[in-house]
Structure 1
Amino acid sequence: MKILHIITQKPNSTGSGIYMCGMIKGFEKIGHEQAVIAGIDVNDNVNCFSSDVSFYPVKYNCGELNFPVVGMSDSMPYESTRYRDLNVEMINRLKHQFKINIDRAKEDFKPDIIICHHLYLLTAFVREIVKDIKVMSVCHGTCLRQLNTIDLEKEYIISNIKKLDLIFALHKKQKNDIIKTFGVSDSKVVVIGSGYNDSVFYDKNYKIKNDKIRIVFAGKICKSKGLIPFIKAISRLIYRKDLIEVNFAGTGSDVESYNEIVKLASQSPFKMNFLGKLDQSDLAELFNKSHIFVLPSFYEGLPVVVLEALSCGLDVITTDIPGVREWIGSEINDSGKIEYVTLPSMHGEGIPNEEELPIFEKNLYNAMDSKIQYLLSNLEKRLFVDMSKKTWDGLAYRMNEVISMDEMCLI
């Protein structure tokens, strides 16, 4: 089968892009031929995929698209254009440039199906212009947040997303949100979960230096990731200053937010390092040399990084993001390797009510203090959890099974 993947943004810099790349690798092992249309900056390397994958890059910051790559979140790990700042002319130019590559891919690659990423503007446009090929899409969660927070092309998006042949949701709550938002039938939305790259992220059984507790965060450096209360909570911990070290892996495009977070971290009694964006192998090394991974985020789809951290042997503290507990499963949830912190209530998508942040900060503090106390008594006894069912290969096989069962799909 020939599968064409389409995403508006960069294919290897965010959770959704990494998710797509993981799908591609899994589908390669199944034997499918694949092509990709994705947005990149004019100065980015176009060698994003193996030679077996045809790549049709849409280049930003040049020609008609004389603005940075659009981002599904307002803060991206690279220079980006917010959807809320697009005007009608910019939208039309974006559609035109993607249509050129869609037409090329249809002519050259001749896909049997198209899988888009995000239930948003480009996916709606693909469904509008592609009538003769099945079009499916993966919801990553951030698209629903955009739809709920800004009015950009809202009716156009909803009307065309309704016409998709199939929608993949990350978890049951998201499926219900999709059905409610777009008015699609239950049978059109399939819960498929997530995955991770087990060839990169695995427990290397290093003999970690136990002279200090190493805590790590990986993701965008922005306020919606909960980093302000996270840093405040760590800074309140009552331990000697050289016992705790915190590493932040990632970048943020919101300079003001980034600088505020770095400044707050510089005032902590504990050492806090901002390492910038790490490639997957370097991040796996960092995980293997650390003790605790913390994801204090106010909003996520289904964060792959939690799976990556667990697979490297880390103990994990994460906010109780809808769908994560369900996807992780009772075996891992009951293992003692992962702890969930209750989220504050929100007055918008990923925007917490300020009056509840002190309680949230206290809960983060208690979770980290408890985990550190446990580790100090058990540093030589690193628990192992089986992550074999959570890989990208597993995700690809699940998706393939769903696609293959659809009688209208050409196989």
Structure 2
Amino acid sequence: MRILHLLSQRPDSTGSGTTLQAVLRESQKKGHENMVVAAIQEGPLPLFPGLSNLRTRFVTFGGGDLPFPIPGMSDVMPYPSMRFSDLTDRQLSSYNDVFRTAILESTERFRPDVIHSNHLWLLTSLARRTFPAIPTVATCHGTDLRQMRACPRFRKDVLSGCSRLDAVFALYSEQAEEIGQLYGIPAERISVIGAGYRNELFVPGKKQAVIPAIVYGGKLSRAKGVPWMLRAFASITDLPWTLLLAGGGTDPERAECIELAGKLGNRVTIAGPLRQEEFAAVLSGANLFILPSLYEGLPLVLPEALASGCFCLATDLPGVRDILGIAGDEWLRLIPCPPLQGTDTIVPGNESKFVINIASKLREVLTDLYAGPPSQESTSELRERLKNCTWDAVFQRMEKIYCALAGKTSR
């Protein structure tokens, strides 16, 4: 098959970029032909395995095609960005014109059997309206649902195309219901596909025996809960631990996180953004992975950490609970989510309680870790439970839908 992939963000950053890379890798293994239309900012081209063998068409922001930064699906991105809510009408018109030209040129050149877009948002809607005769599917990453609520001025444009998609890939069952309600898409066109991990890359290694090695991976931002997490660690001075922070972010939130981490001294390492191979190596030797987010879709990093033999500690969110159902509470413990206003802002007066809850759960897991690492049998059993979460399994579910829509037979 010939599959045209669309992404309005950089393809080498954030969860949607990781998903795109994984889908491309699995698609190429199956012998499909692929082309990518994606956003980049002025400067070096993105780097990820297999890019040189792909047909690509980049829309350049901050110079080149469009003078303004990439509008981010999250308010805090690991690269220069702006918020969709800050787009002027003139910028929005230019944004649509440039992306329409890019997908028109790509479709004429590549002649896809299927278009696979990312995010139920402006680019996906534009593609559906521009090519009503080409089967079009889209992956929901969760940030698109947040944008639908935060940016009501775009809803009409988004719904005009997204409501007519041939299929939508949801990350978990509760999200599938939310998509149906927000976009008016019939349930039979929404499939719970999940998200995956690279089982050949994320594998258990030798774990720390004396001082537990803890890892956080994600943007250094308030929406990810990082400031409250660091305050929780500051309260645990009587127990041994080390913490590695992997991920980027933008000021002032990143600066706040760096300042709080600095107060913890040499217990904390700030690693910055890591390539997947580097991150996998870190998780391989880690004892615990922590993700105190205030909002998530289905966090890809949790299956990666679990497959690496790490105990996990994460906020009690719908997508996280789906992973708990697979891993069990032996491996994944939940931090109570604080009351929120909007999607990812703690209701004033509840910050201290959130810090206390994180610290309490940390102490609980650290106590278990001091008893020793999990057995090889327990780790192997966990990886067996995670087998439907590999990218190979996830892509097989996608491929069946591609083939049904394009009238082809899967191999």
TM-score by length of 2: 0.93
Which residue of the partner structure matches residue 116 of structure 1?
Answer: 117
Which residue of the partner structure matches residue 366 of structure 1?
Answer: 360
Which residue of the partner structure matches residue 243 of structure 2?
Answer: 246
Which residue of the partner structure matches residue 290 of structure 2?
Answer: 294
Which residue of the partner structure matches residue 3 of structure 1?
Answer: 3
**What is the one-letter code of the residue matched to 2:267?**
K
% of aligned pairs identical? 30
**What is the one-letter code of the residue matched to 1:99?**
R
Which residue of the partner structure matches residue 214 of structure 1?
Answer: 213
CA distance in 1, matches of 2:309, 2:289: 10
CA distance in 2, matches of 1:343, 1:314: 22
Aligned-residue offset at 1:38: 0.4
Q: Is residue 309 of structure 1 aligned with residue 310 of structure 2?
A: no
Distance 1:348 1:45, change over 3 A: same
Distance 1:34 1:155, change over 3 A: same
Aligned-residue offset at 1:357: 2.7
| Cα deviation code 1:196-215 (max 9, x no counterpart) | 12222112x32x44342211
SS at match of 2:253: helix
Match of 2:261 among 265, 282, 302: 265
Counterparts of 1:372-387 in structure 2, within 5 Å, are 372-379=366-373, 381=375, 383-384=378-379, 385-386=382-383, 387=386
**What is the one-letter code of the residue matched to 2:242?**
E
Residues 129 and 160 in structure 2, CA contact (< 8 A), matched pair in contact too: no
Q: State how many pairs are aligned.
A: 403
CA-atom RMSD in angstroms: 1.8
**What is the one-letter code of the residue matched to 2:248?**
T
Residues 83 and 152 in structure 1, CA contact (< 8 A), matched pair in contact too: no
Q: Is residue 333 of structure 1 aligned with residue 345 of structure 2?
A: no
SS at match of 1:93: helix
Distance 1:245 1:45, change over 3 A: same
Match of 2:270 among 270, 274, 296: 274
Q: Is residue 150 of structure 1 aligned with residue 147 of structure 2?
A: no
Which residue of the partner structure matches residue 40 of structure 2?
Answer: 40
Which residue of the partner structure matches residue 403 of structure 1?
Answer: 402
Aligned-residue offset at 1:371: 0.9
Aligned-residue offset at 1:159: 2.3
| Cα deviation code 1:269-293 (max 9, x no counterpart) | 6622211111111111111222110
SS at match of 2:349: helix
SS at match of 1:168: strand
CA distance in 1, matches of 2:387, 2:190: 25
| Cα deviation code 1:109-131 (max 9, x no counterpart) | 11011011000111111112112
Which residue of the partner structure matches residue 351 of structure 1?
Answer: 345
Counterparts of 1:39-58 in structure 2, within 5 Å, are 39-45=39-45, 48=48, 50=50, 51-58=52-59
| Cα deviation code 1:24-68 (max 9, x no counterpart) | 111222221111100012213255452442111111121341122
CA distance in 2, matches of 1:375, 1:48: 35
Distance 1:285 1:216, change over 3 A: same
| Cα deviation code 1:55-111 (max 9, x no counterpart) | 111111213411222210010011112111111111122222222221221111110
Residues 46 and 57 in structure 1, CA contact (< 8 A), matched pair in contact too: no
Instruction: Give the stretch that moved more between structures: 10-19 or 394-403.
Output: 394-403
Residues 216 and 294 in structure 1, CA contact (< 8 A), matched pair in contact too: yes
Distance 1:284 1:405, change over 3 A: same
Q: Which runs of 5+ in 1 are unaligned?
A: none
| Cα deviation code 1:274-327 (max 9, x no counterpart) | 111111111111112221100000001110011111111111001112122224
| Cα deviation code 1:206-238 (max 9, x no counterpart) | 2x4434221110000000001121111111114
SS at match of 2:333: strand
Query: Which of 1 and 2 has higher RCO (CA within 8 Å, sep 6+)?
Result: 1
Residues 37 and 56 in structure 2, CA contact (< 8 A), matched pair in contact too: yes
Which residue of the partner structure matches residue 19 of structure 1?
Answer: 19
Instruction: Give the stretch that moved more between structures: 303-312 or 347-356.
Output: 347-356
**What is the one-letter code of the residue matched to 1:85?**
D
**What is the one-letter code of the residue matched to 1:244?**
W
Distance 1:39 1:328, change over 3 A: same
Aligned-residue offset at 1:136: 1.1
Counterparts of 1:49-198 in structure 2, within 5 Å, are 50=50, 51-198=52-199
CA distance in 1, matches of 2:132, 2:73: 26
Aligned-residue offset at 1:346: 1.5
| Cα deviation code 1:228-268 (max 9, x no counterpart) | 2111111111425xx22111001102x11111111122223
CA distance in 1, matches of 2:151, 2:303: 31
| Cα deviation code 1:114-163 (max 9, x no counterpart) | 01100011111111211221111110000110110123422111222111
CA distance in 2, matches of 1:99, 1:78: 24
